[in-house]
Structure 1
Amino acid sequence: MSGHRRWPVLWLLAGAVALAGCNRGGEEAQGEPGEEAQAQAVPVETVAAARRTVAASYTGTASLEPLAESQVVAKTSGVALQVLAEEGQAVRAGQTLVRLDPDRARLNMAQLEAQMRKLENNFKRSEQLAAQQLISAGEHDQLRYDLENARAAHRLAALELSYTNVTAPISGVVASRSIKTGNFVQINTPILRIVDNSRLEATLNVPERELATLKAGQPVSMQVDALPGVTFEGRVDRVAPVVDAGSGTFRVICAFEGGDSLQPGMFGRIRIDYDQRADALAVPRMALLDDEGEPAVYVVRDGKAVRTTVATGYADGAFVEVREGLEQGDQVVTAGKVALRDGSDVQVIGAPAAATATAAAARTDGDSR
């Protein structure tokens, strides 16, 4: 009989447990109204549209070339008695770089000088005889021509003798040397190379659509792969006035001051600023949507993403100018925009949680009304 009495008690306990579960379920269903909305919001990062200086620019790449370059050649043959220049040495125009054996050239000059002196004496006697009409005018003229020819040959011999001192045709730095002391040098053989690196030039082949915007004197900035993080300043030195019909480009030559850092042959990334706006409203480029329609961004307003069409202007590095569609301080989405649609709820990363919950609750109350 005691077993029969336990059944009513068990039924009462089961009913109480079920009732308690229902009460808890009701309490959970009546939780904070903003929690569900907050759980469905898309997390995003935003940046405020702000005013900044934006420059319009053209960018390109080119190798640096020296202002002048010269292959030093031997203008006569001979054995190199002295080599007076080394690679990397600075030289000036007219400086002797190599001395060749001058003996042959010196003897040839002495021989021609003796012949010239003999003809000078003969011509003097001829003048006296011509004055006395003891020789014909033709004989006198022939002696004059022979003397002039001897003098020219003597000057040529002196020039050949001077060629035994090989001099620098330009000022600059010895870039390479292909001769050693004791080598026999043939005439017209290149033996050294000199580059004038006091100024370096970079030539850009620019599309013809930029012909009206790029002018001589515009500022230029450049970075080279060999010196990361360093920016060099220069200017547009000259602009070719014609467009190549085959490539549709024109040449823009940029000039930079040379020195120990910049060297000929370096590869440069060049930027020419041709216009600037000092107080332009700008947003990061990453805020622009990637679709093929008109330029647009997502602006966060009252916890929602609002797709906003904008009119863009100059693009300057990581920023783009916005001429229409935004106001200063508008929060534009820079990260998380792929998952957004117009009107999506958003959770701005870094925004206070209490403010987000309040906004979500306000939206829920508005929907219930």
Structure 2
Amino acid sequence: MAQEISLEARVAASIRELRFSFGGVVESFSAEVGKMVSAGEIIGRLKREELTKKRQLKLEGYNKMRATFEQLKKKLEGDDDPDKKYLMDRAQADLNSSVLEVELAQLEFDGAELKCPFPGLVMDDGGIAPGMAISPASFSVKIADLSSIKVQAEVGQEKMSLIKKDQYAEFTPLSLPEAVYKGRIFGFTPGPLDRRSNDFGVWCSLETKDNLLPGMTGALKIYFDR
């Protein structure tokens, strides 16, 4: 029969902070606290009228620069005069700068959308609302990364020597008593969870994370001979 210890445990997940890369006026925002979001879902968008005009202006500037470059290239092609070669080099540099300006304008346009790159649960909406003017990298939205879900159990120091990395474990949440989530121990907290009890935390990664949410409690069984 497998030897085991059973510990009180809680589901945990990393909290990520998402921010708009650029400043502007919020057009729409859908990251309400408690909402589940999918990976790649757009949760906010800035007004893009000015960004659209800026991108178009940079693109027209590039087209003019490209036409000037092609005319100069055709006119000076095959001419080895150092002064004329300098003019070609300068025209090439101006064209390259114009390309970069278009790319930066496109990045700013794309940055007007705030996407969640992982499946998550909104913990804090950052106080963002449509119509607000925000500055770059301000007003962070806090989202629990559901792809990072793991289990933390409390263990007394007298039992810590029994627990090793990669030991097999099973987690059963109180809300899903028929479910058994298989996993492996991967480490301890760097210090006690509670100064009064001096209990440490032990971390367990899970093979599957379906239907688990941060804060769920249950029992973690750690086996010594599996």
Instruction: Tell me the TM-score range normalised by the shorter chain.
Output: 0.7 to 0.9
Identify unmatched segments of 5+ residues in structure 2: 193-197
Please tell me whether Structure 1 or Structure 2 has the larger radius of gyration of its CA atoms. Answer: 1
1:116-131 to 2 correspondences below 5 Å: 116-131=62-77
**Selected match of 2:122 from 156, 174, 177:** 174
Counterpart CA distance in 2 for 1:199 and 1:109 is 37
Instruction: Give the CA deviation at 1:245.
Output: 11
Instruction: Give the CA deviation at 1:159.
Output: 0.7
Q: Is the 8 A contact 1:199 1:256 kept in 2?
A: no
1:33-112 to 2 correspondences below 5 Å: 55-66=2-13, 69-112=15-58
- Name the structure 2 match of 1:164: 112
Counterpart CA distance in 1 for 2:32 and 2:62 is 41
Counterpart CA distance in 2 for 1:275 and 1:197 is 30
- Name the structure 2 match of 1:209: 161
SS state of the match for residue 25, structure 2?
strand
Instruction: Give the CA deviation at 1:84.
Output: 3.3
1:183-222 to 2 correspondences below 5 Å: 183-197=132-146, 200-204=149-153, 209-211=161-163, 215-216=166-167, 218-222=168-172
1:358-369 to 2 correspondences below 5 Å: none
SS state of the match for residue 149, structure 2?
strand
Q: CA RMSD in A?
A: 3.4
Identify unmatched segments of 5+ residues in structure 1: 1-53, 277-369
Counterpart CA distance in 1 for 2:173 and 2:42 is 37
Pair 211,191 (structure 1): closer, same or farther in 2 beyond 3 Å:
closer
**Selected match of 1:263 from 204, 213, 216:** 213
Q: Looking at secondary structure, tell me which structure has more strand per residue.
A: 1
Pair 137,189 (structure 1): closer, same or farther in 2 beyond 3 Å:
same
Higher mean displacement: 122-131 or 200-209: 200-209
Q: Is the 8 A contact 2:12 2:150 kept in 1?
A: yes
Pair 55,231 (structure 1): closer, same or farther in 2 beyond 3 Å:
farther
Counterpart CA distance in 2 for 1:61 and 1:87 is 28
Pair 196,64 (structure 1): closer, same or farther in 2 beyond 3 Å:
same
Instruction: Give the CA deviation at 1:252.
Output: 4.1
Write out per-residue CA displacement over residues 166-204 of structure 1, whole angstroms, 9 at most, x where no aligned residue.
Answer: 222212333332322222222112443333436731135
Identity %: 17
Instruction: Give the CA deviation at 1:205.
Output: 7.2
Amino acid at match of 2:54: N
Higher mean displacement: 155-164 or 230-239: 230-239
Count of residue correspondences = 214
Counterpart CA distance in 2 for 1:187 and 1:161 is 13
TM-score, scaled relative to structure 1: 0.49
Pair 171,223 (structure 1): closer, same or farther in 2 beyond 3 Å:
closer
Amino acid at match of 2:48: P
Instruction: Give the CA deviation at 1:157.
Output: 0.6
